[in-house]
Chain A
Amino acid sequence: MTLSDEHANEVNGMQQSTTTDPGLAAPPATATAPDDPTVVTEPVFELQDVNVYYGDFLAVRDVGLRIPSNEITALIGPSGCGKSTLLRTLNRMHDLTHGARVEGEVRYHGHNIYGPNVDPVEVRRRIGMVFQKPNPFPKSIYDNVTFGAKIIGYKGDLDELVERSLRGAALWDEVKDKLHESGLSLSGGQQQRLCIARAIATEPDVILMDEPCSALDPIATLRIEELMRDLRKDYSIVIVTHNMQQAARVSDRTAFLSLDVKEDGVRTGIVVEYDTTDKIFTDASDERTEAYITGRFG
């Protein structure tokens, strides 16, 4: 019942995070090359006037974003500013946190997922999620991948589904001979790829990733980032990361969130700036974005 209370910690720890790496304002030239211009056509998500409350506490406010399809969109910002909170509004995970409330509209391909007569289970079957700490089920690799499909009542060839999904997650070659071993026997990076395979097995439209690499070593991280770039062809990806170099490396668009502090000390998360990654990292419009990117704070 208090499922996502742990994520309320992000809200409760409203403090400036320790800087990860100062500097590196300019991303490598080859990292992001969005095919489309700044105008977003065919958004997969459209957020309008979104506020998120935990009880009486307003965690995130006045969010308006248009997130394009088949691109990687990153949410960056100092810790505690509401990135995960915002991410979780996209698949109605806040339903599971007691006292959490979402106002405003989140339109998925035009349909407001918070509208009446919307089944959150259906929402989550189209919008998958990968979590910060890899959480494969204590089952075999095979059963992990087929779990989601069986839930939906998939009647097709399960073996084929497993191979397809594991290939899609760049894990097939490593595990094809041990499909019936426990998912927990894999290394951290492999477990996370298993979770990705598990998520794409149900052929969702969107994959949400909540700091997917923060529990992994740098090599595993790079593999996952490669994977993300491949997945972009078939899925829309929204990723939360506290590592802005990662955002610069993989994403097409970036939203920078930060804390708005009022005179009475009340802190609320807001989207400060949202643009193509190139623009954010080379020529940010808002000085707060600039300050974060160049490591002057955060």
Chain B
Amino acid sequence: MAALTQRAGEDNPLAPRSKRLGEKVILAVLFACGAVSVVTTVAIVLVLANETIPFFRDVSWQRFVFDTEWQPFGSDLDVVRLGIWPLITGTMHVTVIGLLVAVPIGLAAATYLSEYATPKVRGTLKPTLELLAGIPTVVLGFFALTTVTPFFRNVLGFEGIDFFNSFSGGLVVGVMLIPTVASVSEDAMTAVPNALREAGYGLGASKSRVALRVVFPAALSGIVAAIILAMSRAVGETMIVALAVGSRPTITLNPFVQNQTMTGYIAQSVGGEAARGSFQYEALFAVGSTLFLMTLALNLIAAAVVRRYRQEY
């Protein structure tokens, strides 16, 4: 009989030898690590609500939604302007311009990498795009403010561009988003099985035709998800816009004037007069809640698009 494992005269030799308490403790610790994520989400919601709810006790939601200016400075709650739309306008400018830059370029890059490039070329270009993705946004903000805007103003001589404006911010946000759009779309496109491409080539279609008419539609859910994801990141981007867009939120269609985004407002207002308990402090969280809900909605939509429309091969 096995000397190492058997115990003599035992009624049930297969019973657990020890309570294995150590294992149970370890399991509990590991579970706690996993649970941190749930706790974090709950904490975000609670912390945001903690200041947003008092805010809306003093400020009516109509005022928040319909007032046309955002001027929260001052001490008299009845006098300050607390309309969210100017901030949303700034965010929208940056997002739209950013997508106008990132989506065509990102999709083109994805198409090139997935359909045209040799493995060697891919091996050099993909890491370079990843490099771009790794640049801290504060550095990109520096670039936007000190290089891009002066380029348009001084080198190209456009006089209608303010020193701070949403256009430069949008451009650089777009550049920041190129790797995101490119890599998610490229994943979607390379996932399309070769058999489909070969069917296209077999019918005499050229490379660009196959890419556009065969691969694109097949990868569409992934591509749409990439775009929505990029939108969400544009909305949430802070440092580029805090540096380049400005601090004067305005409802306007002109992207060349100064403006302010929701994220820029939050970043620029901390450390200022927003003492805890003041309505400016609460306003920070109200804007933060709006931001959180917008990006959450976009992320959920992106996930739903992938789930519902993904072609199963």
Contact = CB atoms under 8 A, between A and B. Distances in A.
A237 to B, nearest CB: 15
A113 B2 contact: no
B14 interface: yes
Interface string A202-242: 11110000000000000000000000000000000000000
B4 A122 contact: no
B305 to A, nearest CB: 27
Interface residues of B, number: 12
A111 B4 contact: no
Interface of B: 1-6, 12-17
Nearest to B17: A122
B5 A119 contact: no
A202 B2 contact: yes
Contacts of A126: 2, 5-6, 13-14
B2 A122 contact: no
Contact of B15 (A119, A202, A203, A204): A119
A160 B212 CA distance: 69
Contacts of A121: 16
A122 B13 contact: yes
Contact of A203 (B4, B12, B16): B4
A126 to B, nearest CB: 5
A111 B2 contact: no
A37 to B, nearest CB: 25
A149 B15 contact: no
A119 B16 contact: yes
Residue from A108, A123, A126 having most chain B Cβ neighbours under 10 A: A126
Contacts of A122: 5, 13-17
A134 B5 CA distance: 25
B12 A117 contact: yes
Contacts, number: 47
B34 to A, nearest CB: 14
A154 B4 contact: yes
B13 A125 contact: no
A111 B1 CA distance: 15
Interface in A148-179: 149, 152, 154
Contacts of A152: 4-5
B13 A111 contact: yes
B15 to A, nearest CB: 5
A203 B2 contact: yes
A149 B4 contact: yes
Contact of A119 (B2, B3, B17): B17
A152 B6 CA distance: 11
Contacts of A117: 12, 15-16
Contacts of B14: 108, 111, 113, 115, 118-119, 122-123, 126
B156 to A, nearest CB: 59
Nearest to A154: B4
A245 B58 CA distance: 87
A170 to B, nearest CB: 21
A119 B12 CA distance: 10
A113 B14 CA distance: 7
Contacts of B2: 126, 202-205
Interface string A42-75: 0000000000000000000000000000000000
A203 B5 contact: yes
B2 to A, nearest CB: 4
A117 B2 CA distance: 21
A154 B2 CA distance: 13
A203 B1 CA distance: 8
A147 to B, nearest CB: 13
Nearest to B1: A205
A203 B6 CA distance: 10
A179 B94 CA distance: 65
Contacts of B15: 117-119, 122
Interface in A82-109: 108
A149 B12 CA distance: 22
Interface string A28-46: 0000000000000000000
Nearest to A108: B14
Given A113-B14, A122-B15, 10 more contacts: A108-B14, A117-B16, A118-B14, A119-B14, A119-B15, A122-B14, A125-B5, A126-B14, A202-B5, A205-B5
Contact of B4 (A115, A119, A202): A202
Contacts of A205: 1-2, 5
B260 to A, nearest CB: 49
Residue from B1, B4, B17 having most chain A Cβ neighbours under 10 A: B4
B13 A203 contact: no
